[in-house]
Amino acid sequence: MGENDSNENVRIPTRRDQAASPKGSPKPILKSRDTNTEKSPSLSAKQYSIVATGLAIDDILKLLVSRVKNFPCPSELEFSLDGESPMMLSNVEKNKSFIDQLRKLQKLAYKLDEVPTHGDVQLKDKHHKVSSSIVRALFRMEQVQIKFYVNFLHSVYDDLIETNVYTKSFVYPCELDFAENSEDGLILANTGKNKSFIDQLRTLGSFRVQSGDILECNTQQLTGKREGIG
């Protein structure tokens, strides 16, 4: 009898006993967890979009810093007086790195414009700051281009001044030969007597075209040079 009492005291509950116990039922807890799990996907998706957008803006900022930091600014640029826009850069090797930099910065601006902010205040602020940084970088490029263009104009004016000095030193002939068969009698004959005068007319024509194509800049030095030519 003593052994039986001892065995009954140390009896280990079976799986059937555990299943029958009221404490083993986790259903209310599992139901509560299922409810929370159903609500989390929409919140997680929104948070994921905000985080992804923030990282995208950060990447654009990193590219901007790298572009500006590693850009070797040229010592001069080449312009042409033949273009419709005086500030238009000629498509030559000397201007290649500058033009490429402008395009890279503009692409960053376009890329940033495509990034949504999802109505998030912090994202809007970050988006605005990076956009302002790109605008400032493009503005600095424009200032450099203007500086080099003014230098270019100084050089052109110097050349025109030399031409003007040459023109004023010209000795006019005493008489000219005119073509007999001209309707108005003002067509010069192609003779040795007229050669120096015809060359002078051509020089003046070239001088006038170059002077007229130059953009009038509001700088004191350029204004003085232009008045000196006239």
DSSP characters for 158-211?
Answer: HHHHHHHHHHHT----S---B-TT-SSS-PBP-SHHHHHHHHHHHHHHHHHHHH
Two tokens, residue 192: 């040795």
Nearest C-alpha neighbor of 106 from the set 82, 137, 72: 137
Q: Is the pTM of this model over 0.85?
A: no
Q: Which of 26-30, 94-98, 221-225 has the lowest mean pLDDT?
A: 26-30
DSSP 217: -
What is d(CA 146, CA 94) in angstroms, rounded to the nearest whole number?
Answer: 16
> Residue 35 has what pLDDT?
47
> Residue 30 has what pLDDT?
46
Confidence of residue 29 (pLDDT cuts 50, 70, 90): very low
Higher pLDDT: 230 or 130? It is 130
> Residue 215 has what pLDDT?
54
Count of H helices and E strands in the chain? 7, 0
Report CA-CA distances (Å) from 214 to 84, 86, 166, 176, 183: 11, 8, 20, 34, 36
Nearest C-alpha neighbor of 145 from the set 106, 99, 105: 99
> Residue 23 has what pLDDT?
52
Higher pLDDT: 196 or 44? It is 196
Q: Which of 17-21, 73-77, 141-145, 175-179 has the lowest mean pLDDT?
A: 17-21
Residue 118: is its pLDDT beyond 70?
Answer: yes
> Residue 193 has what pLDDT?
82
Average pLDDT over every residue of 139-153: 91
Report CA-CA distances (Å) from 186 to 133, 190, 213: 64, 13, 29
> Residue 88 has what pLDDT?
82
Average pLDDT over every residue of 49-64: 95
Which segments of the chain are extended strands (E)? none
Higher pLDDT: 179 or 23? It is 179
What is d(CA 77, CA 79) in angstroms, rounded to the nearest whole number?
Answer: 7
